[in-house]
Amino acid sequence: MTTTAQKYETVIGLEVHVQLNTASKLFCSSANSYGAEPNTNVSPVNMGLPGALPVVNEEALNYAIKIGLALNCDINRFVKFDRKNYFYPDCPKAYQISQFDYPICKEGHIDIDKEDGAVKTIRIHRAHLEEDAGKTIHLDDCSIVDYNRTGTPLLEIVSEPDMNSSEEAYDYLQKLKLIVSYLDVSDCDMEKGSLRCDANVSIRPAGSTELGTKTEIKNMNSFKAVKAGIDYEVKRQIELVESGETIVQETRLWDEQKQMTASMRSKEEAHDYRYFPEPDLVPFTLEEKIINDIAATLPELPEKKLKRFIEEYSLKPYDANILVQDRATAQFFEDCAGKLNDAKKIVNWLNGAVLKEMNERKASIVDLNISPDNLVELITKVEDGTVSNIVGKDILTKMIDTQKSAITIIEEDGLAQVSDDSALEKIVDQLIAENEAVANQIREGKDSAIGFMVGQAMKKTQGKANPKKIGELVRRRLLDGP
């Protein structure tokens, strides 16, 4: 039986705004930095003062081209800017310099993996450069504006309406963010607003090829919010259609607390902005050499790196995928692999104890201030039995906190494992005497009980006993005879 939801197909297109981390703004020399005192990173150009003339930031243009190439886009050689007119307090000039009919990038794509193992291509319609607006802060009795963000270079990446579920939209965003982060042109931090996403959502009868009336959802400050906002809007639109009402083209705001969208304003069309060529910026043509030089600086992108890690290091796809989610971590792994010929052990530490430290400290692997040499040294000391795996994890924490090497910590804290047979035999004899019931289980062939004895030995010695030798001694005492 067909459910109500199955009667309709969801159609989603995303507009992603990426702030570029250039030193200065898009059309002036004001500092492009986050967290400064309000209204200090401003200039006559981005405040729209009379006589102030914009100049294109070459680095921002190069960053836009770099992103476009990484997203498989064609690069427009003809570069032209336009005025997008709108009146709002966060736009002091009453217009925004953007690109209308000649976006810097066009006709690209991103491939996302489906749950069934298939690959779906999401087309990118265009990506254009524009300056950001200021930030309006709404208080109880008034609204105030911080113009520091005004003029920040943005690349707006507009997808085709190729996504059919919130899950696909989420996967597309994750993939897009990962690619951009590898290029080192933006920190892609949604909390800071350096990556923002608006979703255009519509529904249509299943099997139809005509697009339905869309609504645009704004104010989604996390990927989780994007997913929730789309799901809510699809449900709302289906309920409207089922009740005989008409969907209105409009812009709606996502309310995180209420987990719902609310109408903001009617949706603008291009003609509402009265676009016309920017008179203060002369169009120009890019030389082919510029594009080729930028293409030569592209790093190995995550999808290619993932395949190489699986093939070159014989990693499981799951492990390799975790590594490539952060370019610095992936490079750290390769640096370690050049010093220790055991990729699996390195991955176990990076995706285990090291990742745990990063998450708990909310830090990148660079922030931990441990070197590949130091981690390899620690792994080696665990593998040769100098310290146990449990103690090794404690040493890792101390390495991060103190910036000392593994060997230094082992020597200073006396953490080397007890491997002397005579010392360990005394511990085992004591444990057998204290745990007769467990000893009898081992005699009866219950191997799992040996693990209990090993665990007790580790407690008694504060992790210093060699667990492998403890297990061998327990087995020798109880199964092989004295």
Higher pLDDT, 341 or 193: 341
Determine the pLDDT at residue 193. 84
Among 21-30, 276-285, 320-329, 425-434, name the one with the lowest average pLDDT. Answer: 425-434
Report field, pTM of the whole predicted structure over 0.75 = yes
Residue 419 has pLDDT above 70, yes or no: no
pLDDT band at 446 (very low <50, low <70, confident <90, very high): confident
On the question of pLDDT at 424 being above 90, the answer is: no
Q: 345-381: per-residue pLDDT in tens?
A: 999 999 999 999 999 999 999 999 999 999 999 999 9
Q: Which two tokens mark 380?
A: 């080696």
Record the tokens describing residue 195, joined without a space: 């990556």
Phi, psi of 194 (to 5 degrees): -80, -5
Q: What average pLDDT is seen over the chain?
A: 91
Can you give the pLDDT at residue 437?
84
pLDDT, residue 448, reads 79
Taking residues 305-316, report their average pLDDT. 96
Whole-number Å distance between alpha carbons of 127 and 74: 10
Give the whole-angstrom CA distance, residue 101 versus residue 78. Answer: 11
- What does the alpha-carbon distance between residue 475 and residue 467 come to, in Å, rounded to a whole number? 12
* Bridge partner residues of 16 (DSSP): 157, 197
Share of the chain above pLDDT 70, in %: 96
In this predicted structure, the answer to whether residue 268 has a pLDDT above a threshold of 80 is: no
Of the candidates 36, 60, 129, 130, which has an alpha carbon nearest to the alpha carbon of residue 91? 130
Task: Please compute Rg for the chain using Cα positions.
Answer: 30
Q: How confident is the model at residue 415 (pLDDT cuts 50, 70, 90)?
A: confident
**pLDDT at 1 (0 to 100):** 38
**Per-residue pLDDT for 2 more than 60?**
no
Q: Which of 195-199, 355-359, 419-423, 431-435 shows the lowest mean pLDDT across its residues?
A: 419-423
Q: How confident is the model at residue 443 (pLDDT cuts 50, 70, 90)?
A: confident
Minimum mean pLDDT among 333-342, 346-355, 471-480: which range?
471-480
Structural domains in the chain? 5-293 (no CATH), 300-413 (no CATH), 421-480 (1.10.10.410)
**DSSP 8-class letter at 51:** T
pLDDT at position 69: 98
Least confident of 122-126, 396-400, 469-473: 469-473
List the structure tokens of 385: 């039995």
In the block, residue with structure tokens 């190729």: 162
The string of pLDDT tens digits covering residues 215-252 is 999 989 899 999 999 999 999 999 999 999 999 999 99
Residues 99, 147: Cα–Cα separation, whole Å: 22
418 band by pLDDT with thresholds 50, 70 and 90: low
pLDDT tens by residue, 19-50: 999 999 999 999 999 889 999 999 999 999 99
Q: What is the structure's pLDDT at 322?
A: 95
Task: Give the Cβ contact number of residue 74 at 10 Å.
Answer: 12
Given a cut of 90, whether residue 417 has pLDDT beyond it is no
Return left, alpha or beta for 151; rule: phi > 0 is left, psi -120 to 50 is alpha, else beta.
left
Examine the pLDDT at 278 and tell me if it is beyond 90. yes
